[in-house]
Structures are given as C-alpha cells and as structure tokens.
Amino acid sequence: MNDARRISPELRPYVDRGEADELDGLGRRLYDGHVAPPRPAFKGQLRNRLVELERRQLGASERPQRLWLAIASFAGAGLALLGIAALAATGSGPVF
C-alpha cells in the first residue's frame, strides 16, 4: 500500500504511532482482499436470526388499528398545505 492510501497520516494527531500502524496493516489486508469470506453455515445462521428479529419487530399485532385514518389525515393535511401554497403563489391567499 503506497503512502497515498495509508490512513495513518490522518490519524496521527489523535492516535499513537503503534495504533496507526496497526490500522494501516488492517487497511492493507482489506484492500488486498486477504480476508476470508464467512462460512455458509454462519451466513445461514445470521440470516435466520435476522429474519426472526424482523418477524418479532414487524408483527401484524403491532400494526396501528386505524392505519387508514392516519394515512387519510396526513394526505388531507398535505393537500391543504399545497392549496395554501398555491393561493400564496397566486397572490390571492395568505402571504408568509
């Protein structure tokens, strides 16, 4: 890794030289692609865990009871604001 790709010059005021050299070594390994890819078993376990977490967080029971009312309220407020802005742009409504 040439000096232009080293991160240590940017870190020098904040970390000591030993840590900066370690980070340069890590960056060199990552840049050169010497990091082993995860095993398929690990990727499968990770996927299953993430799917389970998503299922727990986004369950159907946690959906708002009156979702359509919230959507209609936001849409109505947006249309009202667009109407006020149109009136203000034509000069016939409130001017802010």
pLDDT at 75 over 70: yes
pLDDT at 49 over 70: yes
Coil, strand or helix at 38:
coil
In this structure, what DSSP letter does residue 60 have? G
State the pLDDT confidence band at 14, using cuts at 50, 70 and 90: confident
d(C-alpha 95, C-alpha 57), whole Å: 45
The reported pTM is 0.36
Average pLDDT for residues 7-35, to the nearest whole number?
A: 78
Average pLDDT for residues 39-59, to the nearest whole number?
A: 87
pLDDT at 80 over 80: yes
| Both tokens assigned to 10 | 């940017």
